[in-house]
Structure 1
Amino acid sequence: MLLTLLRRFAFILTVFPGIIYVILKMLSSLRIHKSSHTYLLSLLIGSIFSMVMFNQWATMLKIFFIVGVALSYIFVESLGIKFNYFVNHAKINLDLLTTIILFPILEEFNFRQLLWVEMTYFNYNYILYIVLSAMAFLVTHIVYQGISAFIKIPFAVGQAIIFLSTQNILIVIIIHLIFNTIVLIDRIENQKLFYR
């Protein structure tokens, strides 16, 4: 009974990791300065809790390295207060690492693979998976990025369909990496035009 309740709670956190994000933002004792750090930590906490509740040990081992990189990123960034020289030179690389690699990997594990494992456990159907996967992706991005996240609905639906048809997390991660790279390049180009 308790395990079922914990699994349902893990399911809710997988669908809405923004809950963790809001709680972390309210905790003033945590000195997380950047929203991207809070979002990264939210995804990590939700994913790890879900993997433990649904016995996804192989998945947990796959992202163990990613968690280590993510936590070291947050640690290095938090040292920036004392070591501005190092962080100023490494900041661009760390932001690129987060945007292009860490977020896509953690989001796809959370919103595609873990959600699929949880939904098959509770015997939900494919259509509901696609809707919840897209909504979870959207709601989390709204919490983190605001209303502009609505343009990501077709991407989220497409990713859910691709994952369902291939059952391969690596494919959707690569697509997400490419998508974020294109968006980042576009933002850089728009900034160059704006500052000319």
Structure 2
Amino acid sequence: ALVSTNPDLGYWMTEYCILQRNGEIRGGGRRDLGMDTALYVARIIHHDLTLAQARSWQWWTAVTQCDYKDGLVYLDDGSNGTTGRTGPRVESLKHDGNVRESKLLWALGNYSRFVRPGMVRIGCNVAPPQSYVSGLLASAYTGTKGEIVLVLVNLSAEAQHCELNLPGPVEVHTTSSTQDLQPGTQDAANILVPPRAVVTISQIGNRQKT
């Protein structure tokens, strides 16, 4: 519709929140601090950017005390959170409570920390192609100084090995069930992507300062 109206028009995906109830995510109720929701959203981000051509992607809310899948960081009094936004339990969190980060926070960081404003998405393909639902997803971006960033989303239960056409070792930041944007270096010719993980790859020394 946008292209037929005006090919120069673009769109932003703003304030995304999980509301759909399906067999995979089972709706927006009940917080999930683990990789299931993180990978679900990472897949949506990938498809919004690469298939729907979104020019920006933004999450709904950062911090919440509620028992929904709408936060990146959660506050609670030792329970699974509240189902309302007012009341004694909510008031108590102004003075004390637990702070819990979600894997979604870190998986979103695999995009937002590295794919910075002004960067442009460039061609990137997985060969041979894999499932858009349960395989390896890859997207790549470049900045004004020629720096390249790749985001790999491994939806499968098996590790994946990738060969990149980039020189030398590269920086990797991995989010998985045991890692939170864990930094490291790997050989560009043999990148290991752990099972059910999100990995961001950037050329050493070329990442934009944040």
Counting helix residues as a fraction of each chain, which structure ranks higher? 1
Counting strand residues as a fraction of each chain, which structure ranks higher? 2
TM-score (norm 2): 0.28
TM-score (norm 1): 0.30
